[in-house]
Structure 1
Amino acid sequence: MEQDNKELIACARGAAIFFVVYAHAYFGGHGMAGVNGEFDVISILRHALKDGLAHASVPALSVISGWLAAEISHRHTHLGLLVRKARTLVLPMVFWSVVTLIVYAIVGLVPYDPEFLRSQMPSSPLAWVNAFFGVSDAPFNGPLYFLRDLFVIFVIYVTFKKIIVARPVVTFLFGVALYLLEGVVVGHLEVQSVPVLFRPEVLGLFLIGVSVSKSDLRIRRVLSAPALTAICFGCLIVVVVAALLMLSDLGSEPTYQGISLKIQRAAGVGLLLSAAELIRTRRVGKLMIQLEPYAFVVFCSHAPILFVVAQLVGKVTGWSGESLILDVFFFGAPVLVYALAAGVVLSLRRVWPGAAEFVTGGRKPMEARR
């Protein structure tokens, strides 16, 4: 892969995982609309981050995963690629789900809270299996459903690789159709998963990423056009403003449904990728590239970290009020998680390199990839 493409992908992936943290950052029991359902600048910004860029981050990661799959798959046999992905996707999912369950158990035991334990701990043999492996329900560390879905998609990709790679334009159109069709299903039938995939849209976006890598399209030239960034940003703002006008309390309810959700996520993906191309050679872009090796640990660990910090913040500020501490926690959540993740990984690399490789899914420091 060209160095420019490596930098683009590293910058985009680092940024996407930075924003995905906002999807699970606690902001107070009053909901996204602020106290008494009234919107203000802070609540609007919270909404733009949480239901705007945060919810576009996993779709962006899906496109990036497809792009990378097409670039690296020729280096491995089909079986070798699946073994590699089991090591870098499935094992981290199991490990971080175990860590998350232990964290929740400690919170429920110190001090002892039987009601919390009953509501949070798996309650059946199947629930325990799902908690770690995500067979028929999301793993205990909820965001890691993406790793489980991605492994299933790699099985599909390996099975149909010759067809997928041979016709990049057809693959692109099929990916777009699958992405939009899933929006219709979600919007009209209220179905958010199928028996094989928790989020079927990930497959469509993955195929788009494969086609972008394998086609003759000069994708970086397209992404570097400031007009694309402006258009994507404008679409994202329009959808966000429309949601604010239509909904009085965004709370934990789905903000968008059907095609409107697809427009919002597509705009977010375009914005993340185009912005990454524009900034990758600048100071902020270089910083994001340097932080990218820690992004996987951030993705895997942000849910339990934010849960623990939210317990502490909630006890200090109250669970339903609005305070400066809550705002600082919400807006600073990605920085907090990145700092903790980088600290843990750097420490492990010094004292226990094997453990560092395991928790990062085998991902190497940036200097080792050159």
Structure 2
Amino acid sequence: MLDADISKRVWIARYLMVIGIVILHVPPYQALSELDGSIFGYIKAFFAHGVFRASVPVLTVMSGYLIFATQLYLKPVKLFKKKVSTLLVPLILWNLPLAIAVYLVQRFNIIDYQFSMELYPFDLFIWLDANLGLSRIPINYPLNFLRDLFVIALLSPLIGWVLKKGAFLGLVGVFIVYFYNVEGELILRNSMLISFYCGALLAYKSYDLRRLDKYAFPCLLSFVVVCISIVAFQIENRELFRMVSPFMIWPALSLLESTKLGTLLYRYSGNSFFTFLAHGPLLVILWVVFNKLPVELPYYVFWLLTPIIIVCLTIIANRLLKCVAPRVALVVLGNR
């Protein structure tokens, strides 16, 4: 069992990072080199290329920590069964309907939108990629996180063996695997392997997760400065930032716990997984609607309102699903 305060911070961090992923994915993508010099452009880049690029690393570190803190890695069969239900099943169930929808849209040319995959005409290997992300990002593109996390989670017994033989030497080995891409297509976003290992290391060594809380404000300030620097100097390679950012964000979250915002995030944190699963298709729908509006609205209105709309919609939809079809909700939400 996790300490109550740590558990609360995990829930707050999880929901905040998921909301950050929603903001990160608001279309269209704009590279740092394409900034137009406007104040809004810099604000958007600060969050999209800086602040919320840390979302996946934070979630991955926490996943590694939780698997090892609960010693689930010592029970491979139980680990496999749990991760199939909590990660693989939602991965499939939240990709398949979208894949079918995209197929129909492309088959009958319903709307003019450039999807990440051509699912018409039917091709088995492309459809396997679309639903499972075997060699590339699935059709519900944010779910590549679930795909990679599932693979890495199944490697937990091996990671546990490495930690037992030499935790820090193992960390060096993981860096080598990452740097030379030894794992190939097994893990699409291989920096997640480092984040997961770091979380596992923290749990295995039973480190006090509050140790850096006394440096919360300097950590927050450092994080903001780094994010500003990424935008100001147009730093495209953010791999090091992804690896380090969780260790700046985690202590900084101690400043949020007792605030009204922290309380609000904790209260609604049970919606985090539903929000994560549903936000990709909702973003596409809202973007298409925005571009079809009879009146022309500034893009910043879309960027500001879309995450709020998605968060509100997913809270309502999650409650309705659990009330109307609780057993279905359990399956599609990975027994959460």
TM-score in same-fold range (> 0.5): yes
The number of equivalent residue pairs is 333
User: Which residue of 95, 119, 122 maps to 1:121?
Assistant: 119
When the two structures are superposed, what TM-score results if normalisation uses the length of structure 2? 0.87
Q: Which amino acid aligns with 1:142?
A: Y
What residue is the counterpart of 1:366 in the other structure?
none
Distance 2:164 2:301 in 1: 46
Indicate whether 1:55 and 2:32 are aligned.
no
Give the match for residue 11 of structure 1.
Answer: 12
Indicate whether 1:235 and 2:200 are aligned: no
| CA separation of 1:117 and 1:227: change in aligned 2, threshold 3 A | closer
Going from structure 1 to structure 2, the CA distance change for 1:157 and 1:207 (only over 3 Å counts) comes to: same
Partner secondary structure for residue 186 of structure 2: coil
Cα deviation code 1:150-174 (max 9, x no counterpart): 1111121123423325654445555
- The range that moved more, 344-353 or 326-335, is 326-335
Q: Secondary structure at the match of 2:149?
A: helix
Alignment match, 1:356? 329
Give me the whole-angstrom Cα distance separating, in 1, the residues matched to 2:315 and 2:254: 24
* Matched letter for residue 199 of structure 1: R
SS of equivalent residue, structure 1 residue 120? coil
Partner of 2:288: 311
For 1:59-78, what aligned pairs fall within 5 Å after superposition? 59-74=57-72, 77-78=75-76
CA drift of 1:298 comes to 1.3
Q: In the alignment, is residue 21 of structure 1 matched against residue 22 of structure 2?
A: yes
Q: Distance in 1 between matches of 2:140 and 2:41?
A: 27
Q: Does 1:197 align with 2:198?
A: no
CA distance in 2, matches of 1:150, 1:140: 17
User: Cα distance 1:135–1:33, how it changes in 2: closer, same or farther (>3 A)?
Assistant: closer
The answer to whether the 8 A contact 2:73-2:160 is kept is no
Distance in 2, matches of 1:196 and 1:126, equals 16
Give the structure 2 partner of residue 100 of structure 1: 98
The counterpart of 2:320, out of the listed 347, 356, 364, is 347
- Cα–Cα, structure 1 residues 306 and 224, in superposed 2: closer, same or farther, change >3 Å? farther
Tell me: CA distance 1:195–1:283, structure 2 relative to 1, closer, same or farther (3 Å): same
CA drift of 1:106 comes to: 5.5
Unpaired runs of 5+ residues, structure 1, are: 186-190, 244-254, 364-370
Q: Deviations over 1:215-235 (max 9, x none)?
A: 243221304522222122222
Percent identity reads 21
CA contact (8 A) 2:67 2:73 kept: no
Alignment partners' CA distance in 2, 1:114 and 1:313 = 13
Name the amino acid aligned to 1:233.
Answer: V
Asked whether the equivalents of residues 19 and 54 of structure 1 are also in contact (C-alpha less than 8 Å), the reply is yes
Instruction: Determine whether 1:256 maps to 2:246.
Output: no
Task: State whether residues 69 and 210 of structure 1, in contact with CA within 8 Å, keep that contact through their aligned partners in structure 2.
Answer: yes
Question: 1:214 deviation in Å?
Answer: 2.5
Partner of 2:307: 334
Gaps of at least 5 residues in structure 2 are: none
TM-score (norm 1): 0.80
Q: Is the 8 A contact 1:52 1:240 kept in 2?
A: yes
